[in-house]
């Protein structure tokens, strides 16, 4: 019939992988509130739990690393050392600052990871939307 709309149904899929860490250690990047402003640095928080049995005897620090990827390339990177105690459950929070926000628009992917002495990678990744902005401002 002419003028009659028929619904079209498409298929949707979601693949979920089981989370597994043989050491029971993890890092989790926390979700931000809405979009980051391009006017100021964005703050990203990550929580971690590292099992002390996985650490090398005598080591007092463990390095976390982060990458900020936008527009197909690494825009920022760094190292965040944390104090750890062998034999104890080590937990805490990491804070990193997203800088040069106009270079990160419209979307930045943040990856935080560490390598345990046995070779296990403990990592998380999250996307953060950023308000569109211009590098050069025009004043009236």
Domains contained in the chain, number: 1
Q: Supply the pTM of this predicted model.
A: 0.76
Please report, for the domain that includes residue 62, its CATH number. 2.60.40.1930
Which 8-state DSSP code applies to residue 105? T
pLDDT of residue 112: 96
> Mean pLDDT in the chain?
83
Domain boundaries, position 115:
26-129
Is 7 contained in some domain? Answer: no
9-19, pLDDT tens digit by residue?
A: 777 776 665 56
Residue 123 inside a domain? The answer is yes
Look-up of token digits 């980051």: 36
d(CA 70, CA 52): 34
Residue 89: strand pairing partners: 51
Give the gyration radius of the chain's Cα atoms. 21
The most confident of the ranges 20-29, 99-108, 121-130 is 121-130
Domain contains 124:
yes
Domain for residue 117, yes or no? Answer: yes
Residue 9 maps to a domain: no
């Amino acid at each position: 019939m002419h003028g009659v709309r028929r619904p079209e149904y498409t298929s949707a899929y979601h693949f979920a992988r089981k989370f597994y860490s043989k050491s029971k250690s993890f890092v989790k990047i926390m979700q931000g509130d809405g979009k980051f402003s391009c006017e100021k640095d964005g703050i990203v928080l990550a929580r971690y739990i590292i099992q002390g049995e996985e650490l090398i005897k005598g080591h007092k620090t463990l390095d976390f690393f982060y990458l900020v990827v936008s527009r197909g390339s690494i825009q920022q990177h760094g190292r965040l050392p944390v104090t750890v105690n062998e034999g104890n459950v080590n937990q805490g929070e990491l804070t990193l600052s997203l800088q040069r926000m106009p270079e990160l628009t419209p979307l930045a992917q943040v990856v935080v990871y560490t390598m345990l002495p046995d070779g296990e990678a403990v990592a998380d990744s999250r996307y953060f939307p950023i308000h569109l902005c211009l590098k050069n401002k025009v004043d009236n």
